[in-house]
Chains A and B, each alone.
Chain A
Amino acid sequence: MLFSSIIFLFYFLPVVCALYFIVPARFNTIRNLILLLASLFFYSWGEPVYVFLMIYSSVFNFFMARQIEKDLLAERSDRANLIFTVVVNLFILGFFKYFGFLMDTINGILRTDFHYTALSLPIGISFYTFQALSYIFDVHKKTVPAQKNLLHFALYVALFPQLIAGPIVKYRDVAEQLQHRTTSLDKFGQGTVRFILGLGKKVLLANTFGALYEEITAYGHGDQATVLTFWIGALAYTLQIYFDFSGYSDMAIGLGKIFGFDFLENFNYPYISRSITDFWRRWHISLSSWFRDYVYFPLGGSYVDTKRRHIFNLLVVWALTGLWHGAAWNFVFWGMYYGIILIIEKYIIGERLTKIPGILQHVYTLFIVMVGWIFFSSASLGAALHYLSVMFGFGAHGLADITTLYHLRTSGILLFIGCIAATPYPIAYFRKFVDRHAGIALLVIFGIFLLSVAYLVYSSYNPFLYFRF
């Protein structure tokens, strides 16, 4: 089920809210049970078979965390149980997500033709597997005690607001909230506003930019493939992916707030970054911090003896980050691309970058990011290289043409609005506006909701880009 769908907005969410708030706050276990059942229903709406996999993941990790804790309490080595748990989790992820990629690679390298069936990807598997692994690692490190109640743990894994596309909520951040959390009218209101803003970002902005990008990529090798048109397409995708994913995160955080949960922020205006290092502190924060805590630091992070070892650590983390996003070489390439740029920033241009004018720092960052998104959005590495070659004038049919002018005329204002909306200024202004004219602000929010619903009624299926991860 999609957040941005009529079924979710007008049937599922009101019913779940009603059932949840009918139960008095002191009966937290019953409230958790309602949320868990609702989450399983939400997931099984689109994944009737794979809901079993999610239940399995909950039961398996719940049981194994208790085994690991038992070992720790008995002062035995928990290494065997830890390795077993990690291997099983990664095996599940690998089987469903990377099996086809592996077979294609084997067939490609060995020039064989092994028949196989690449399975359909269970939605959200990368997100909930990483959540479960964070729990296992934290229990192993004694950061948190193992959960004694399967219901609470299953809710942590399956909680529908962040189940499908994150943020990747670490267990330690919500452990207390699973047992005790507060709901209030104030929090409900804040959550609703955040949800509607996220809905507007996705439906009104991301989908519109997505349509523009799709139109431009369809030009392929045709006469309309000009340098400027392809740059407009790259900008459209840059804005689409930000509003799509940060919109989803806003909706998840808003829904969490409605039900009393406080999730950490996942985005902090990444497009105002002055360097790529800064960008990755602001983009998909929950994923970056997951890799930092559970891969980069255990590898030694930057506290290693040699520069070579540090570079190795960075490349491993970024290759894995790329691979996490998708089972294809263009994602691995995309991850390595960022790994290499971060190494260059760290060891070569870092100091110099801070000394150039601020505007040039922004231009540099956005240039790198926009080029990176081409690898990310393309169906294959070949398609990405073709698109990039046109952007840089190779194989392009001129600098611009009538189609470029058409796109500028029809989408120029919207692209400008998107660029402004990706900065903190509109929200900061809106907050001030809320303080002064609360009534009008409420009407604005209601207007965004109505427009989004109107768009949804007349639009086709529009899944979130991050669903495929």
Chain B
Amino acid sequence: MEIKEIQSTLTTQLKKALKLCVFIIVSVITFIKNIQRSFVIKVLLVTVLVLFMGAVYSLQDADDVPLSEIDKALKKETRIEKMEECSERQLMQLIGIDASAYDSFIYYKSKKALGVDELLIVKANNRADLDGVQDAVDKRISNQIATFQGYGPEQVAMLKDAIITKRGNYLFYCVASNPEQYEEVFKYAV
């Protein structure tokens, strides 16, 4: 008797649950049917936009890393010791950048008189300050190309393949036979 009672209670409960499931499914189907296509497109458009913005932000974001750490990584992973480390005065003299206007910098240039290899990383106090650095670097490249045009085809080719990258408050500039190698270390570091 007790078992039968339990069975009937279970059956009633199951039926109720089944009815509830059917009700939910029908409601969802009705809701989906009632959603206008335009609403779906709007949601889709907003989703695409948010994803794009997220991707762009993460691509341009950078950690707050001291340049000394990036310098260490470059010394470890690349052959930067083939270049000489330059002072604030040389930065001003050669690239026209006043180091005091920025947080910090690393500047290496070729030891050879006719070498155009150089690497510069500037950490600015805010990203907007990097525009001035970029202008100076663009000018430096143009001047170097004008200097070597005509008698230094290898140097000109290297200058034309120069890499300039901005990440967060950092600007990375490199002229070398394999600038991608230096860039990779920089990107990994920040």
Contacts and interface: CB of A to CB of B under 8 A. Distances in A.
Mostly, the B contact residues are helix
Interface string B36-67: 00100110011011001100110111101000
Given A63-B41, A100-B127, A120 B138 contact: no
B142 interface: yes
B138 A117 contact: no
B6 interface: no
B128 interface: yes
Interface in B111-143: 126-128, 131-132, 135, 138-139, 141-143
B1 interface: no
A201 to B, nearest CB: 21
A112 B132 CA distance: 26
A461 B142 contact: yes
A411 to B, nearest CB: 20
Contact of B135 (A60, A63, A115, A461): A461
A88 B46 contact: yes
Nearest to B63: A115
Range of interface residues on B (Cβ < 8 Å) = 20 to 34
Of residues B64, B127, B135, which shows the largest number of chain A Cβ atoms within 10 Å of its Cβ? Answer: B127
Nearest to B145: A460
Interface residues of A, number: 26
Contact of B60 (A67, A120, A459, A468): A120
A56 B48 contact: yes
A119 interface: yes
A330 to B, nearest CB: 12
A48 B56 CA distance: 12
Contact of A56 (B42, B49, B57, B139): B49
B57 A119 contact: yes
Contacts of A92: 49
B56 A49 contact: yes
A52 B48 CA distance: 11
A119 B61 CA distance: 8
A379 B42 CA distance: 40
Given A53-B52, A117-B61, A60 B45 contact: yes
A29 B49 CA distance: 29
B45 A67 contact: no
B126 A118 contact: yes
Contacts of A63: 41, 45
B179 interface: no
Contacts of A59: 45
Contact of B142 (A53, A60, A459): A459
Interface of A: 49, 52-53, 56, 59-60, 63, 67, 84, 88, 92, 95, 100, 104, 115, 117-120, 328, 379, 458-461, 468
